[in-house]
A and B are shown apart, each in its own frame.
Chain A
Amino acid sequence: MKRKKIKAVISVFLAILMLTTLAGCKKESKESANEGTNTEEVLGYPITKEPITLKYWIPIHALATQFIRSYAENEVYQEMEKITGIKIEFIHPANGQEDEQFNLMIASGDIPDLITGAARYKGGISMGVEDQVYLDLTPYAQKYAPDYYKLLNSNPEIKREATFDDGKIFAFYRIKPKVDVPFRRLVTRKDWLDEAGVTEPKTLAEWETYLKLLKDKNKGDAPFILTTNGMEGIIMGAYNILPGFYLKDGKNVTFGQIQPEFKEYLTLMNKWFTSGLISKDFPSLKEPQAITQFSSGKTGVLAASVDQTFNNAKANNYQLVTTPFPRLKLGDKLHWNNSEWFVGGDETVINNDTKYKKEAVRWLNYAYSEEGAMLFNFGLKDSSYVMENGKPKYTDKILKNPKIPAPVTNYLFRMHFAPKLTFSDLECVPGVLANGQESINNRLKWSDDKDVDNTYVIPPIRFTVDESSTRARLMTEVDTYVNEMVLKFIIGAEPLSKFDEYVNNVKKLGIDEAAKITQKAYERYMK
């Protein structure tokens, strides 16, 4: 209580101090800005001389809600209020009801100044702009969001992902110019590998041998927990197909689950399942449960986050082994990669009718400026992190906080998910840095594989209203049928001789039309 009061007093004092210094030196230029002579507008901080309040609709992360009720209590936004002079009134939808509450908000017509997660708009962001609910940022970006604008133009691929037709700017995205190396791999334990007397498997045949050895030695309940829906991209990747739509030969949109290679994949999985190499319970085990089983030694192999399993292994005193993406034979070229795109989510738009358009744009731009990015990615200087040899280093407040678990600090002391310039995981994610250089090396292992590219992965394309509604109708039917049949094939409830019949049925459900729609959207995107 007392501390809060002191904090309040200090912040009021600081605010007054800033206002007076401003009033002293920038009075003239401020006035000219009000008159609208843009040439002399000063774009420094704070953004406004009179404090204004912006309403900000943003989903709050479920982990954060264990400790705070609103991002107003997040240190990053508190600091930002001091710097920009803009007060933010946060509106958080209840966890799990984001979609409903977003739609209610739009339907009510009472739309806040800023909205994160704006792609929920029916027909997407461009439709929101067309309906004049969202502001077209194109005329504002260059002048009022210079840092964001510069970032978009720093790389044509970033620009393609973050802008709409003709390079129009509609939203601020979470952008990571230095894309991370893959985080999900097949992992196993060093001691079990040693016991089996093999090195880390690199081909599917080697995996089979290893799983059999584990089975023979009765290690755990089952050697391997396959992903819940039976379609493991990492293993399917060895056949150069992907679950769902992918770009065959880097240009043709194709549905993975009806390819002849998929039959080979199913045959292998069916063989593994019937010979007891795959857990009998895999369809009812969600990923967190599977990770728990792996950490507690009930299974030996898993496809999962290498960071999370590494930290778990540390805590349970065994050594984790990550493996390269499996292949049919050594040296095969793989055309998929589960790394990310430059542009992430958290797309944020501005209300078309807000009084404070320029201020809102400038406020959002701050997270892309040098000091803003430091604040969002690392938190408060000398509190959450210190500079060591010119590099930021987390303090124990983040890494070893006795009261707040490390994953939660992401939403209390830094802003992990927000429209911002994001640093790579290896630079700034506490979960990756928890065990220092060792965990960084763990993540980096195998990432220098020269024979892996992602030419088969479809970029973040966008659909029109009609396209997405037709596609949703078709794909609900297709997915329901495919998910059902895939599991049946794997556990042997349906014989693989029925694969051709299955492919025919998927075609009858309209997969070709859905592929055509996706192809069209892809070609539009690449233009």
Chain B
Amino acid sequence: MQLQKMERLQTRALSVQCIKRDFIRNKYVYLMALPIIAYYIIFHYIPMGGVVIAFQNYTPKKGFIHSDWVGLKHFVSFLTSYQAVRVIRNTLTINIYEILFGFPAPILLALLLNEITSMKYKRVIQTVSYLPHFISLVVICGIITDFSITNGLFNDIIVFLGGERSNLLMRKELFRTIFVSSGIWQGVGWGSIIYLSTLSGIDPNLYEAAAIDGAGRFRQLLHITLPALIPTITVLLIMRLGHIMSQGFEKIILLYNPLTYETADVISSYVYRRGLQESDYSFGAAVGLFNSIINVTVLIMSNYLSRRITKESLW
């Protein structure tokens, strides 16, 4: 008993000492980290206090302290609203589609690019694939709309393949496909950068050794390239899962119309429409908080699962 206590005290003293020594040895590193820590505290942690407005009828004039408390009124108002089930369902489905189809796309592109031996060709492909990332969303959606109308390019292709003309953006069953695939087109190049940088860090000796052992390109890909990517993929996937309830409203409201509400209306676009009629901060904050709680729960769960299964995790 006594011994155990002593030991514990000793280790605590030791760890304090350790930290102290670490501080002295790496003082410049800590100094450099200071502004970033301060940034997070000032701009990310302190404003979290503002979440109280989700439980108030907040008005700027009265401020956080004097606004009237209304408890869970805004949460109830959102969850009992006529469209709540639909917008939550749509947010989840679009996100799941994006994870299912959008998440692997940059990995595939990176792997393909990695197999290209001509540097010049590779650079050109990379640059071309980045380009859409820099085009404004409004322009992208304008292009999509123009291509999707009855006499648009997409319909010309459909007719060529033996289909019939229709306005694609008026068909609710196609909305998710258009939304997700245009998202892939726009983001695939940009998303592949992080994987390419990981790939460039692989020791070429590994490939050489594998080649000597008789491994072909596909074997090399399977046993060297992919395993090297796994940590990056895991981290990014966990972080992506942490956004499962988030879906920006900009692209949605640029592409949807009442005919596609059934598959296109998501939480953020619903809040946006409601906000249009009145600047209701508290309602917006309540919905945001609701989303964040689910996001964090999913994040923690996926991190736990990942740690159990792949031994890779965020923490």
Contact = CB atoms under 8 A, between A and B. Distances in A.
Give the contact-size bracket for chain A.
35 or more
Contact of A281 (B149, B261, B262): B149
B232 interface: no
A371 interface: no
A217 to B, nearest CB: 19
Given A99-B279, A281-B167, A477-B82, A487 B61 contact: no
B76 to A, nearest CB: 12
Interface stretch (B30-38, B105-113, B237-245, B270-278): B270-278
Contact of B259 (A120, A468, A491): A491
Given A122-B278, A122-B279, A468-B278, A280 B61 contact: no
B83 A472 contact: no
A409 B81 CA distance: 47
A469 B280 contact: yes
The DSSP consensus for interface residues of chain B is: loop
Nearest to B148: A284
A103 B60 contact: yes
B267 interface: no
Contact of B83 (A120, A281, A471, A480): A480
Contact of A283 (B61, B257, B280, B281): B257
Contacts of B281: 103
B169 interface: yes
Contacts, number: 85
Contact of B274 (A229, A284, A473, A487): A473
Contact of A487 (B83, B166, B258, B278): B258
A212 to B, nearest CB: 20
A47 B70 CA distance: 49
Nearest to A102: B279
B62 to A, nearest CB: 8
B11 interface: no
B98 interface: no
A260 B279 CA distance: 34
B277 A475 contact: yes
Interface in B44-103: 59-61, 77, 81-83
22 contacts: A103-B279, A122-B59, A122-B279, A131-B61, A228-B257, A280-B150, A280-B165, A280-B166, A280-B170, A283-B258, A283-B259, A285-B149, A472-B274, A473-B274, A476-B274, A477-B83, A480-B270, A481-B82, A484-B258, A484-B259, A484-B261, A487-B257
- The 7 A-B pairs of least Cβ separation, nearest first, read A107-B60, A472-B277, A483-B258, A472-B278, A476-B274, A484-B258, A281-B149
Interface of B: 59-61, 77, 81-83, 145, 148-151, 165-167, 169-170, 257-259, 261-262, 265, 270, 273-274, 277-281
